[in-house]
Structure 1
Amino acid sequence: MNTQTELISILLVDDQPQFRQGVRTLLNFYNISSSVKFNIVGEAANVEQAIKLSMEQHPKLILLDLELPPENGITVLQHLKKSSYTGKSLILSAYQQDEYVYRAMQAGAWGYILKDKLATQLCEGIMTIVNNKVYLPTEIATVFFRLFQYYSGTSLTCNSKIDLTKQEQEILNWLVQGEPNEQIAKRLYITVATVKAHLTNIFRKLGVTSRTQAIVQALKSGLVCP
């Protein structure tokens, strides 16, 4: 009986070379033990590379980390959602917090896997998504739908305990919507350097060190109402 091997093109996006190597090793193992073959068509370590390679290679699937310099994986998802890219994205993340999962799925991801579950869930996740189904393991589905129901059924009261200036609040609002620095600058008629300076102050006031953490904190504290 003649069977045709299915080839799935993959773009691997993570800022840690060691982690990318681990994923490559795992996919090579799947290639040996499965009739489905995975072909890594590119690797990216930051937002700009991820977007560029997505448009050039048009992979069937992007394996995407959320913590990417200089912004985050949400920025990549938002860009792809507005572009001609027709593939799908699977998040590989170290974060299980409700807001991380919710934001990623809201931005267009087709699945979400915790990095410490990769060995047991990656192959199933990929196959589920390429068959046009959303992949959310039980522990992730629980946190996603908990927050989905919360946002759908209640209104958050905005928190004024954290002292943000009017412009910092505006920038935080656009940040939560996934806008990159350049677009925020255009919307507010300020320079990119000014946006970055405000973000530094916002991160300090929120007690965070990255855009994704700032989004999570803003949603948790009610500084930005969904």
Structure 2
Amino acid sequence: MSVAKELVSILLVDDEPQFRQGIRILLNFYNNSSSVGFNIVGEAASVEQAVKLTTEQHPALILLDMELPPEDGITALHRLAELSYNGKVLILSAHQQDDWVFRAMQAGAWGYVFKDQLASQLHEAITTVINNKIYLPPEVATGFFRLFHYYTGHSLTTGAGIELTEREKEVLNWLVQGASNEQIAGRLYITVATVKAHLTAIFEKLGVASRTQAIVKALKLGLVCP
């Protein structure tokens, strides 16, 4: 006897029909390979349509573009907040500038994914967000916390008590800059296996389990400069 999948209701908000079609294809693929199902309850091409459909359908998750002429995704986030929308919003955007990411997260988004990374990151992003966790891949998290430090003027806490070797600090610094294991190995003239060993040690000392968590914690603790 098969167990019914948990269904997550989703609203697509993007002004490009072809892009929405691509998202539908991806979600349908996930439906065939995931324990969680995704049900698209509506599509919107403008802020007004998004607000109307949110009021009518109460989606658990909104996949939101940052450009919705004549307005934008920030306006949509503010309008949704006014509605006391209690679902999650995941930004899917071509804008990769740090300030776009920062403004979106500040306005209430639960995650931010670059459109050119959707194929590799969308499923993880959705799964993370619907489990009440923020999703920021490494290349996005670095920029977000760079601006966070700029606007606050200081780190949230200090890194006292966490002792990293000089090499671990170098590896962590390149990690925060968004470098891959192969790029770190090339810049430090060490093997990829050695990079992985250093990352394992760094993760253990920071008490984290992923690259993104390491970046976030390192920046919060002021272990590296953003």
Please confirm whether the aligned pair reaches a TM-score higher than 0.5, indicating the same fold: yes
Which residue does the alignment assign to 1:131?
A: 131
Which residue does the alignment assign to 2:86?
A: 86
Partner Cα distance (2:87, 2:35) in 1? 21
Which residue does the alignment assign to 2:109?
A: 109
TM-score, normalising length: structure 2: 0.66
Which residue does the alignment assign to 2:9?
A: 9
Partner Cα distance (1:97, 1:44) in 2? 24
Q: Which amino acid is the alignment partner of residue 36 of structure 2?
A: V
Unaligned 5+ segments in structure 1 are 155-226
Q: What is the count of residue pairs matched by the alignment?
A: 154
Q: Which amino acid is the alignment partner of residue 148 of structure 2?
A: F
Q: Which amino acid is the alignment partner of residue 37 of structure 2?
A: K
Partner Cα distance (2:115, 2:69) in 1? 18
Which residue does the alignment assign to 1:42?
A: 42
Deviation of residue 3 (structure 1)?
3.6
Q: Which amino acid is the alignment partner of residue 133 of structure 2?
A: K
Deviation of residue 4 (structure 1)?
4.0
Deviation of residue 2 (structure 1)?
5.7
Deviation of residue 82 (structure 1)?
2.1
* Paired residues for 1:181-200 under 5 Å: none
Partner Cα distance (2:75, 2:139) in 1? 25
Task: Report sequence identity in percent.
Answer: 71
Give the alignment's Cα RMSD to 1 decimal: 1.2
Deviation of residue 31 (structure 1)?
0.5
Partner Cα distance (1:17, 1:23) in 2? 10
- SS of 2:89 mapped into structure 1: strand
Partner Cα distance (1:22, 1:35) in 2? 21
Deviation of residue 69 (structure 1)?
1.4
Deviation of residue 136 (structure 1)?
0.3
Which residue does the alignment assign to 1:97?
A: 97
Q: Which amino acid is the alignment partner of residue 142 of structure 1?
A: T
